Structure 1
Amino acid sequence: GVGMGKIHEISLLPDTLFNVRKIKPGNQYAIFIDNDGTTAYFAYEKDLVSYVIIQLNSDTLYAWNGKKSCCNKLKKVSGMIETSLWESMKDSNANPILAIELSEIFAWSIDFFGLQRGDQYKLIYEESFIDSISAGISKIHGAWFKHNGMEFWAIPFIQDGKRSYFDEAGNSLRKAFLKAPLRYSRISSGFSHSRLHPILKISRPHHGIDYAAPVGTPVLTVGDGFVNETGYSKGAGYYVKIKHNSVYATSYLHLSRFGKGVKKGAYVKQGDIIGYVGSTGLSTGPHLDFRFYKNGSAVNPLKVEAPPVEPISEKNSTLFNIMREITMRSLEAFQ
């Protein structure tokens, strides 16, 4: 009961209201009919949270966006790793997305590719629900992780208008370099001064870390810097080189393609996608060959000690100490 003229008007609506090209199969919609049989309204569910309503029974087309009411629940989870952090979250009946949240919070302190069986964790968090369906994790109120016998704390605190995570001493968990350039993967080959090359079958240095991951997995720059070089070579395939400062540089090899806007001279920020895992060049399968350089010499990325960013300021120390005690006691109070 909607004429072609109205349909054309709908297609001309601003993208911020409704974009017909982004209609997704499976999303729900509803059409409301007046008593006289005239089509009055069209409602479309954009996602779990957002919807749009378009009035059709007037000379002028009206449309407005809305959001479903959301309920936040404070929750706790703890667990011990047997196989993986993701599986442990599922076994604890928690949203497995928490595994990603946790890995991002401790990304500068813990190498999540080297987690061990028996490692433990605790989290206090808020999860959003709409119609009893999880709409995602809204906030992490504190976290604790025990890895290789070492304890790591994450205390949230707002400093200079920005919410960040700090350790129990007030040092920022964010450091100059991420521990790894991928969120989830496994190390398939380590840093070595003599390794049998899988294709050439000769021993030669492998001054990098190989991360096995599916083709298309996003590759992140481990730190801020300028793209020094992008290109293709027979050995490295598609590669990106980044200069972070006068001391440190990194390289990312065997990419399937480059990230958007990644070219020589471009500035990138820590965590930006600079490319995607591939198997180009001399490669036996999909992986990322990640290399780290200090003063022009290759060093083992797993042994680089990155300096932290700004710690808790003196003016905020009293309030932070209070928040630290509350957070740590809350985490220690449950198993």
Structure 2
Amino acid sequence: MAAALSVIIGASSCGNRKADAAAEKEEEQIPAIGFRFSHLEVDSTSLRSGETFSTLMSRLGLGAQDSYRLTTLCDTVLDLRKLKAGNQVRAYYDTLGGTHTLQYVVYEQDMVKSTVFRCVDTLDVWNYSKPVEKQRRLADVTINSSLWNDMISAGASPNLIMNLADIYQWSINFFTLQQGDRFRIIYDQSVCDGEVVSIDTVRFSLFNGKDGKEVAAVLFNTGEGSSRTYWDKGGVSLKRMFLKAPLKYNRISSRFSYSRKHPVTGKVKAHTAVDYAAPTGTEVQAIGDGVVTKCGWDGTGGGNRIKIKHMRGYESSYMHLSKFAKGIKVGTRVSQGQVIGYVGATGTATGPHLDFRIWENGKPIDPLSLNSPASEPLNK
């Protein structure tokens, strides 16, 4: 009986030791961020405008000597000259025994990546990245108010808009989208802590316009250059000789007309251009490859003006620019999408906008109705 009791007690004791060891092991596990923080008090703040690393650390309670030592450890981890005002900062303090000692500081570089500074014992600095989930999604968006609002209503990230604008930059003018237009998209996105970090790849998109226009975009890599080549259902690349618009911002304030009342002079005259209203400084892009034939002041009211000669008898003009891009002058060869200048209100203008014009063999044509020549079809 005594022997049996001894065995039971021994087994029980062994079991308790195993349980204690498991508990200790679990307690010893360090979170992925690199330190335990459940017993620490956390204070959330953000980097202030004009604040440096040393002044931030001083504000959080770290001495100047330790702050300097941390800067020497950052060489291969974080460029302290590139700290961004407004980025989130978390400071962790030990408050046991009535103290308030700074232990760790976490600087969030972006939604995924953070830099951790250990401020006690052996000073150290390291980067930490949160887990990122890859998702494949389907979005079906019909325009009712605006593409931005309707994208959110459909449960998709507005970040997807810029991807679509890039894919369809030769075939759809996003300034002229109207109620009833529809996009259906299959795409991949990265998600961190329930927030969309990025739109990685648009696999397929189908645009159906209210006017009956249909444009499909199928991602296919031919192995002959860019891995982001999109083709229509007939195997023709969506890339065209000209972009649909010379900038990616805002709205059309005036359209092509042969009898428009000028907003400044009040006279009725031809306005063979499309005016894009946009903030001063908005980048203006060349709609196609070509050579700059004019770059300077236009004395007829156009202000700072650039004119480009393209292939097949086409020319394009960009007026009221605030300034020209670096290196742009008469004789400069430019490529499609290259920034050539910036929106302004120079010359005769009521506000910042771009006066954009196109000629075909010397005849002005409506940029919004331009049927841009296509590129070569996909080889079978």
TM-score, normalised with respect to structure 1:
0.80
The 10-residue stretch of structure 1 (237-246 or 205-214) with the greater mean CA deviation from structure 2? 237-246
**How many angstroms does 1:293 deviate by?**
2.3
For these two proteins, the number of residue pairs brought into alignment is: 311
Structure 1 position 95 matched with structure 2 position 157: yes
Structure 2 residue matching 1:90: 3-state secondary structure:
helix
- 1:237 and 1:267 mapped to 2: Cα distance? 22
Residue number in structure 2 paired with 1:153: 216
Q: Which amino acid aligns with 1:87?
A: N
Aligned to 1:222: 287
Cα distance change on mapping 1:29 and 1:311 into 2, 3 Å:
farther
SS at match of 1:163: coil
Pairwise CA RMSD:
3.1
8 A contact 1:17–1:52 mirrored in 2: yes
The AA in structure 2 aligned to 1:165 is Y
- Residue 29 of structure 1: CA displacement? 4.7
1:171 equivalent in structure 2? 236
Q: CA offsets, 1:143-189, max 9 Å, x none? A: 11111112211110111242211100110111111111122433222
Of the three residues 277, 281, 291, the one matched with 2:357 is 291
Partner of 1:107: 169
Which residue is equivalent to 1:27? 88
Deviates more, 1:37-46 or 1:197-206: 37-46
Alpha-carbon separation, structure 2, partners of 1:12 and 1:311: 55
**Is 1:49 aligned to residue 102 of structure 2?**
no
CA distance in 1, matches of 2:74, 2:292: 39
Query: Is the 8 Å Cα contact of residues 73 and 124 (structure 2) preserved in structure 1?
Result: no
Query: 1:186 is matched with which residue?
Result: 251
Partner residue of 2:369? 303
Q: Distance in 1 between matches of 2:168 and 2:153?
A: 21
Q: Which amino acid aligns with 1:211?
A: Y
The residue type paired with residue 112 of structure 2 is: V
Structure 1 runs not aligned, ≥5 long: 315-335
Q: Please give the per-residue CA displacement for 1:114-145, whole angstroms capped at 9, x wherever unaligned.
A: 22221112111112111222112111111111
Cα deviation, residue 253, structure 1:
0.9
Q: Secondary structure of 1:10's match?
A: helix
Identity of aligned pairs, percent? 39
Matched, 1:197 2:266: no
Larger radius of gyration: 2
Which digits, 9 at most, give the CA deviation of each residue in 1:28-47, with x for residues without a partner? 255799xxx99887643211
Distance in 1 (alpha carbons) for counterparts of 2:334 and 2:106: 40
Check 1:292–1:133 CA distance in 2 against 1; reply closer, same or farther (3 A cut): same
Indicate whether 1:80 and 2:145 are aligned: no
Partner SS for 1:274: strand
| Residue identity in the other structure for 1:72 | K
Alpha-carbon distance between aligned partners in 2 of 1:281 and 1:228, rounded to the nearest angstrom: 19
1:273 aligned partner: 339
Partner residue, 2:132? 70
Q: Residue 62 and residue 184 in structure 1: after superposition, are their counterparts in 2 closer, same or farther (change >3 A)?
A: same
SS in 1 for 2:157: coil
Deviates more, 1:64-73 or 1:135-144: 64-73
Contact 1:2 1:39 (C-alpha < 8 Å) held by counterparts: no
CA distance in 2, matches of 1:255, 1:124: 38
Q: Work out whether residues 304 and 346 of structure 2, in 8 Å CA contact, stay in contact via their aligned partners in 1.
A: yes
The aligned runs of 1:248-267 (5 Å cut-off) are: 248-267=314-333
Give the aligned residue type for 2:319. L
Aligned CA distance change for structure 1 residues 31 and 238 (closer, same or farther; 3 Å): farther
d(CA) in 1 for partners of 2:293, 2:88:
44
The SS at the match of 1:223 is coil
Kindly indicate whether the alpha-carbon contact (under 8 Å) linking 2:294 and 2:307 is maintained by their aligned counterparts in 1. Answer: yes
TM-aligned CA deviation for residue 305 of structure 1: 1.8
* Cross-structure match for 2:57: none
Contact 2:70 2:125 in 1 (8 A): no
Task: Write out aligned runs for 1:239-250 (5 A).
Answer: 239-245=305-311, 247-250=313-316
- In the alignment, structure 2 segments of 5+ residues that lack a partner are 1-61, 95-99
Q: Distance in 2 between matches of 1:155 and 1:95?
A: 20
Choose between structure 1 and 2 for higher RCO, CA contacts under 8 A separated by at least 6 residues: 1
SS at 2:229's partner residue?
strand
Any idea what the Cα deviations from partners look like across 1:262-310, whole Å, max 9, x if unmatched?
4444443322332232222101222210011223443221232222223
Q: Secondary structure at the match of 1:227?
A: strand
